[in-house]
Amino acid sequence: MGKRVTKVSSYNEHENRLLEITEPEAPFSISSTTINNSKIPILTRELWTSRQRQAHSLHEISYRACFKPQLPRFFISRLTEETQIVYDPFAGRGTTALESAFMGRQVISNDINPLSKIIIEPRLNPPNITTVSDRFRLIPKKPRQKIQNHLSMFFNDSTFDEIVALREYFFERQIDNKLDSCDAWIRMVATNRLTGHSSGFFSVYTLPPNQAASIDSQVKINIKYNQAPEYRDTQAIIIKKTRTLLSDIRDEERAILHKAGSTAMFLNCDARSTPDIPDESVALTVTSPPFLDIVQYAEDNWLRCWFNGLDVKEIEKGISTPSNVEAWKSIMQDVFIELYRITALGGHVAFEVGEIRRGKIKMEDLVIPLAMNAGFSPVGVLLNEQVFTKTSHIWGVQNNSGGTNTNRIILLKKIK
């Protein structure tokens, strides 16, 4: 597929469109940047505030580098209508997918890491707490055959037995084609309760749950804190977390999620090639791509992969997070060409790019030329300028220069 270099036809037209979409009531500012000889507006404001809808309890699944639900909701509510398709090519924990489902949109979710589907799909068909409790009558607490606890730095021996028994149960249900939505839910919760830094996890105190320590690192953590793994009742922990995840859900929301889940498409593809998605079928893409080599997605999830019988080395081969900017651009160019193919005429892409390496790299300067080469017209760049709280300052968030503290979203449109 050849390049379709697109220029912005009218700066004022795009500035007006950006203002129309964002409906700025709070203070805002407009500036611009010039890319490919085209002047592109940049709007800075607080796009969503703490007064707006808080995240639904179903979002409370730990995963590295995920954005707030308010981000996809902002664009879904303004740029799509019910039953239209919303897509995320780098789905992660499924924030875009879940918000899309809540809003009555059709869902397409893709991630090269197969863990993503395991984490997302069950939340579009959540069980009730009684069903989960009753299911544990079928799940043994001891494995068929006792095996050595090779993860003793994380888990007590009895806890490890329960985890292995869970693994066996899920594997057997899959082989027999009996793994249903309740099993998938329990597997999803167990996957997210494996390790963490409180008694709500199966493990001894370790890193936060979105990042698994290595075996050697955990040995050092145990020595530092003079700790040894204590018994944790895995079934009780899963039931408790299930109650938390379901705490906000209402009957009408359950019905909406079930409807979205019945038609949802969950892909495990390289985002550069998604042949199962028809041409010009997607109304909106909302996504956040892997940022160079900042997050090691497979490495951080090695224990979750083990629990689910996934080969982390094979996953690493498919995840493209190069440290070289030119290599990253080459990959993203192909992603945009594929996004152009599947985006409907008049459809949009909201591409959250952050600000990395202490502001030395403005990702829009890299991304917008790639999007224009693929055929998209850049509507503009939105900078979500949050007023940081005292809690943020406790964690060292003092300004917008480090990490990905601000949201920088490139908004694109397919106009031909």
In the chain, domain spans: 11-124+250-299+317-413, 129-245
What integer is the mean pLDDT of 175-192?
Answer: 97
**Distance, CA of 4 to CA of 6 (rounded, Å):** 6
- Between 159 and 322, whose confidence is greater? 159
Tens of pLDDT, residues 316-354? 776 666 668 888 899 999 999 999 999 999 999 999 986
> Residues 6 or more apart from 242 whose CB is under 8 A from it?
129, 132, 185, 189
Instruction: Write the CA distances from 145 to 79, 178, 389, integer angstroms.
Output: 54, 22, 52
Q: Contact 344/281 with Cβ under 8 angstroms?
A: yes
Tens of pLDDT, residues 27-50? 678 888 888 888 898 888 887 765
Instruction: Report the CATH fold assignment for 11-124+250-299+317-413.
Output: Rossmann fold (3.40.50)
Phi-psi sector, 406: left (phi>0), alpha (psi -120 to 50), beta: beta
pTM here is: 0.89
C-alpha dihedral sign at 18, 19, 20, 26: positive
Phi-psi sector, 354: left (phi>0), alpha (psi -120 to 50), beta: left
Tens of pLDDT, residues 199-245? 999 999 999 887 889 999 999 999 999 999 999 999 999 999 999 99
- Between 279 and 408, whose confidence is greater? 279
**How many secondary structure helices (H) and strands (E) does the chain include?**
16, 11
